[in-house]
Amino acid sequence: MAGSVRGVGLPLAPVAVAVAATAEVVGLARSRPFTLASELLVSAALGAAVAVVVAQRLATTVPAGLGRRTPPAGVRALGVRWLWLVVPVVAVVVWEVAAYVGVPRVDHPTLSSLLDAVDRTAAGRGATAIAWLALGRELVTR
Amino acid sequence: MTDRDVTLGVWIALAAVLVAVEVAGRRSAGRLPVVADAVRAVTAPVAGRVVVLLGWAWLGWHVFAR
């Protein structure tokens, strides 16, 4: 049957996406930075994101992928209450900069160096890869 | 207490604050913003979506490739 996995009846596109995503996560988990493999794997994910956005624009008269949307009225009406979210985020940025200019790095860990500790194992890199790909999927399909 | 202890302690405190802010926002029934509201507001204009996607691309490159 066209468009399905033969003999199983599964729709082809979701299966292909699942297989590709699994291969991407496993590849990223096993790869090391500063290698051609890691660059190719990250480039593949970026290419897939661009392809999704372009396909959305071609498929709709009102672009979904990169079209302008109006935020919900509730979001626009928040006004000064945005400070509730902005202040702690600014605090994170300030502390990141403070840690970044501090030396040695071992005494002043940045978010990057903390993530490096997680990424020392294949399981940690795999979990980070899943989170990064899920975030990308959310950004290009919402 | 070492500099490392202080730095890590502040990171942990900031993480706790961010979680508390998100939880409180979700329980406020729309009176306080949550992260999803911020993402919706930032990505409403095309330029905002492009910037956010470029940030996502940079993050992946920084974490996995460089």
Model confidence pLDDT, tens digit, residues A2-29: 566 666 666 778 888 899 999 999 999 9
pLDDT computed for residue A70 by the predictor: 65
**Structural domain count of chain B:** 2
Q: Are residue A38 and residue A20 in the same domain, yes or no?
A: yes
Q: Are residue A50 and residue A94 in the same domain, yes or no?
A: no
Angstrom distance (rounded) from CA A128 to CA B23: 23
Q: Are residue B14 and residue B25 in the same domain, yes or no?
A: yes
Closest-CA distance, B1 to chain A, in angstroms, reads 11
Q: Are A112 and B8 in contact (CB under 8 A)?
A: no
**Residue A31 has what DSSP assignment?**
-
How many other C-beta atoms can be found within 10 angstroms of the C-beta atom of residue A68? 13
Give the torsion sign (CA, A115, A134, A59, A55): positive
Angstrom distance (rounded) from CA B32 to CA B38: 11
Nearest CA in chain A to B53: A139
Q: Are residue B19 and residue B43 in the same domain, yes or no?
A: no
Q: Is residue A111 pLDDT above 90, yes or no? A: yes
Q: Are B13 and A111 in contact (CB under 8 A)?
A: no
Q: Are residue B45 and residue B21 in the same domain, yes or no?
A: no
Q: Is residue A1 pLDDT above 60, yes or no? A: no
Q: Is the ipTM of this complex over 0.95?
A: no
The verdict on a CB contact (< 8 Å) between B60 and A45 is: yes
pLDDT computed for residue A59 by the predictor: 82
Angstrom distance (rounded) from CA B47 to CA B44: 8
Q: Is residue B46 pLDDT above 80, yes or no? A: yes
- Interchain contact A122–B (C-beta under 8 A): no
Q: Containing domain of residue B54, as a range? A: 33-66
Q: Containing domain of residue A97, as a range? A: 71-109
Q: Are residue B37 and residue B59 in the same domain, yes or no?
A: yes
In the three-class reduction of DSSP (H, G, I as helix; E, B as strand; rest coil), residue A11 is classed as strand
Q: Are residue A49 and residue A86 in the same domain, yes or no?
A: no
The CA-based angle A15-A26-A121, given to 5 degrees, is 155
Q: Are residue A8 and residue A51 in the same domain, yes or no?
A: yes
Average pLDDT over residues A97-118: 93
In the A/B pair of chains, how many CB contacts fall below 8 A? 117
- Interchain contact B57–A (C-beta under 8 A): yes
Q: Are residue B27 and residue B49 in the same domain, yes or no?
A: no
**Model pTM score:** 0.80
Q: Are residue B44 and residue B62 in the same domain, yes or no?
A: yes
Nearest CA in chain B to A82: B33
Closest-CA distance, B51 to chain A, in angstroms, reads 11
- Interchain contact A81–B (C-beta under 8 A): yes
**Structural domain count of chain A:** 2
pLDDT computed for residue A72 by the predictor: 63
pLDDT computed for residue A125 by the predictor: 94
The verdict on a CB contact (< 8 Å) between B4 and A119 is: no
pLDDT in tens, A39-80: 999 999 999 999 998 888 888 765 555 555 666 666 667 788
Angstrom distance (rounded) from CA A115 to CA A65: 30
